Structure 1
Amino acid sequence: MSGNTTPTALLVHGAFADAASWSGVIAELQNHGIPVVAPPNPLRSLASDAAYIASVAAQIDGPVVLVGHSYGGAVITVAGTADNVVGLVFVAAYVLEEGESLGELQGRFPDSPLGSSLKQATYPVEGGAPAVEVTIVPEAFPSVFAADVPADVTRVLAVAQRPLAAGAFTETATAAAWKTKPSWALVAAADQAINPEVERFGAKRAGATILEVEGASHAVAVSRPKLVADLIRDALRATG
């Protein structure tokens, strides 16, 4: 592969959000002429979500840098083993070890306010009993998810959440791509959804290049898109 091939940035959103949460970051990257794709993350199971994202990456011509926010970090940890993935960027994210679940990683640290702010619902499963999915109760959404985002924006985000299948919390990662691919990580120091210690621990364990952002909420890609895009550009430059 020629040295001047700019990798494509493939942005993977997390739970309680959708690909539109990357809008500001996408605009920043496009302004710099960087190819970018932001597919939907199904949020149904770690294995199937990772298989989907790996398949999207594999169908992109040339190298890819995977960027995962929140639960999307767990997804890219597994999906990043795809052959043309050359780097990983974790944004306020879970960075799992092989054989580890979100619940196990989180369980080593004090709980964030997220756990007590979740609402359960069910969804139909073909040929089986209904399964449980979770969202953040709308009134808790601004403080837990997006404390540094304007109130009128968080009101919209709160009702546009994508639910996460509850089973995803206990599913273990079948691979840890950071063992063979370079990684970068943004720690949102004021995160109320994932304890920043969880982000810090996973990033250090992965040997990631770490950027700590003081005062940043979980929705750092919405509140500080330029900063997030700059970190992605660092990763693209280092791997391109």
Structure 2
Amino acid sequence: MHPHNRVTVRIAALLTALVAVAGPALFGTSHAVAAHPAGQKPTIVLVHGAFADGSSWTPVIERLQRRGFAAVAVANPLRGVLSDADALDARLAGIDGPVVLVGHSYGGAVITNVKARSPKIKALVYVAAFAPAEGEAAAELAAKYPGSTLGETLAPVPLPDGSNDLYIKPSLFRQQFAADVPARQAAVMASTQRPIRDAALGEASGKPAWASIPSWFVLAGADKNIPLPAQKFMAERGGSRATVTVKGASHAVAVSRPETVVKLIVRAAG
């Protein structure tokens, strides 16, 4: 074969290979994004609340993984409802496929304000959590019914902007937050707790995601942070598809009763 013809054949082969790999994108031709496989399991995105961190979801994540679910425990900044929701939105942008959002405590207010609502978010699961309506604040909902003893256990740490970081006093942590968790485990939780900025608890919520996304609720029967009547009120108002009340459970119900929490998450995942 003439050398010129051999070069022509090689160029043609190279172009064919490039088209096969890059397809229309190589030449700027628009194309549809591939649909997610039918029946694809959603990623379970878990949002912790105040006085906790991502490790508080460990027993839940272990059980979800055994059931074949991918799970992500988001680091919630605990600085302000809307800014924390923005941080969650940014994290969700990097997750492919459908998502079930799970919020504990103040984390419920954060998932309520998520902006990436549809079609990525399949369901919302509230675990002993706030589910505020527009204009409501977490502190307002906690005080709506008697029973919360959180205020008297808090230790404020002043911040440069005039607000405060709030911790639960370690000596009171177990009785307030995790009464049904083994003492040694509760002591570790007390030592690793992340503070919440006081302004976050008083910040008004935006338009609620639960108004347009199906929701499920786990209620902690012996919760000293969010009284059970307040949890019931929010579940009913939020149109809960299924509500499970765990008798005797502390605010740390995801740690003490993870199997119950996981069963409802799986149910919400469809």
TM over 0.5: yes
Between the aligned partners of 2:193 and 2:144, the Cα distance in structure 1 is: 27
**Given the alignment, which residue of 47, 53, 69 partners 1:18?**
53
The aligned counterpart of 2:188 is 156
Are 2:145 and 1:145 aligned? no
Are 2:136 and 1:103 aligned? no
* 1:13–1:41 contact (8 Å) kept in structure 2: yes
Matched position secondary structure for 1:38: strand
Equivalent AA in structure 2 for residue 89 of structure 1: V
Q: How many residues align?
A: 233
* 1:78–1:174 contact (8 Å) kept in structure 2: yes
**Given the alignment, which residue of 251, 254, 258 partners 1:221?**
254
The aligned counterpart of 2:215 is 183
**Given the alignment, which residue of 68, 71, 75 partners 1:36?**
71
Equivalent AA in structure 2 for residue 105 of structure 1: L
Query: Post-superposition shift, 1:80?
Result: 5.7
* 1:135–1:162 contact (8 Å) kept in structure 2: yes
* 1:54–1:82 contact (8 Å) kept in structure 2: no
The aligned counterpart of 1:119 is 155
Query: Post-superposition shift, 1:111?
Result: 4.3
Are 2:267 and 1:234 aligned? yes
Query: Post-superposition shift, 1:139?
Result: 1.0
- For the pair shown, the structure with the greater C-alpha radius of gyration is 2
Between the aligned partners of 2:162 and 2:267, the Cα distance in structure 1 is: 43
Are 2:90 and 1:55 aligned? yes
* 2:103–2:129 contact (8 Å) kept in structure 1: yes
Identity of aligned residues (%): 46
Are 2:202 and 1:170 aligned? yes
Deviations 1:188-235 (A, max 9, x none): 001112111111111110011211110111101111111111111011
Equivalent AA in structure 1 for residue 136 of structure 2: E
Equivalent AA in structure 2 for residue 174 of structure 1: G
Equivalent AA in structure 1 for residue 261 of structure 2: V
* 1:81–1:177 contact (8 Å) kept in structure 2: no
The aligned counterpart of 1:212 is 245
Matched position secondary structure for 1:79: coil
Matched position secondary structure for 1:42: coil
Instruction: Give me the TM-score of the superposition, normalised by structure 1.
Output: 0.93
The aligned counterpart of 2:13 is none
Between the aligned partners of 1:98 and 1:235, the Cα distance in structure 2 is: 24
Unaligned runs of 5+ in 2: 1-35
Between the aligned partners of 2:232 and 2:158, the Cα distance in structure 1 is: 33
The aligned counterpart of 2:124 is 88
Query: Post-superposition shift, 1:109?
Result: 1.2
**Given the alignment, which residue of 59, 79, 97 partners 2:114?**
79
The aligned counterpart of 1:27 is 62
Query: Post-superposition shift, 1:119?
Result: 0.7
Unaligned runs of 5+ in 1: none
Cα-Cα RMSD: 1.3
Between the aligned partners of 1:55 and 1:107, the Cα distance in structure 2 is: 31
Equivalent AA in structure 2 for residue 216 of structure 1: A
Matched position secondary structure for 1:48: helix
The aligned counterpart of 2:28 is none
Matched position secondary structure for 1:65: strand
The aligned counterpart of 2:99 is 64
Deviations 1:66-106 (A, max 9, x none): 00000000000001653311110000001100111112222
Instruction: Give me the TM-score of the superposition, normalised by structure 2.
Output: 0.83
Between the aligned partners of 2:56 and 2:202, the Cα distance in structure 1 is: 25
Deviations 1:96-137 (A, max 9, x none): 00111112222321141111111100234xxxx343110111
